[in-house]
Amino acid sequence: MGRKRGFDEATVLQVVRDQFWTTGFAGTSTYDLMEATGLGKGSIYKAFGNKHDLYVRVFSDYCQGLVAEARERLQGGPEAVLPSPIARLECYLVAVANVFAYESPHRGCFLSKVTADRAGEDEKVAQTARRAFDDLAGAFAATIRDAQDAGEVADDVDSSALGYVLLSVIRGIDSIAKADVDGVMLEQTVRSALALIPRAAPPRAEG
């Protein structure tokens, strides 16, 4: 029977993620992780592997949580607070934009930071980032298809392409918010992007 760990894994992973979020992969040493977590080098390696293993682990966990939250907030069904798919999409995207705009300090999204820092040279990171981007764009696309079914959006709209357009808008907001761009302008950017989605024509009156 193995010995019970003397630490809470979820808490340690959160501390590690925040350390990487603040100082990046190259700027974080194993000793930095030891100091942040209070664990010895041997304990870290035994539980999580080397620094790169731990980096990929916390990045993957973050991406899975980000996608799961987006899907939960965008999905419809009898429990949905907002019955309109377009309204749910707008509510979610505006909320995300406001987080980027008004957080202090402006550290942005961990997905964006890791992608910029490591995806060009680390295939595991690149694969995880691509999957997260595909899944987020897919969640937006699924909501747009729901809006088409509800008669809110034109049937000839390419929902998959539009899902990536909205993803690009919100990722861009993540980037420029770090320069302290006005939050009202960032929110209006989201609303303007959504307003460009072709709406379904109203039903023709009979008679």
Same domain, 64 and 141: yes
190 found inside a domain: yes
Query: For a pLDDT cut of 70, what percent of the chain falls above it?
Result: 92
Same domain, 178 and 109: yes
CATH number, domain of 30, equals 1.10.10.60
Same domain, 86 and 162: yes
pLDDT band at 201 (very low <50, low <70, confident <90, very high): confident
DSSP 98-137: HHHHH-SS----HHHHHHHHHTTT-HHHHHHHHHHHHHHH
pLDDT band at 202 (very low <50, low <70, confident <90, very high): confident
27 found inside a domain: yes
pTM: 0.90
Same domain, 87 and 166: yes
Query: Which range has the worst mean pLDDT, 29-43, 66-80, 185-199?
Result: 66-80
The larger pLDDT score, comparing residue 83 to residue 120, is at 120
The residue segments making up the domain with residue 114 are 59-195
> Is the pLDDT at 4 greater than 50, yes or no?
no
Structure tokens at 53: 């293993």
Amino acid at 107: R
Mean of pLDDT over the chain: 92
Same domain, 105 and 24: no
Number of helices (H), then strands (E), belonging to the chain: the values are: 9, 0
- The pLDDT tens digits for 151-200 are 999 999 999 999 999 999 999 999 999 999 999 999 999 999 999 999 99
- The pLDDT tens digits for 124-157 are 999 999 999 999 999 999 999 999 999 999 999 9
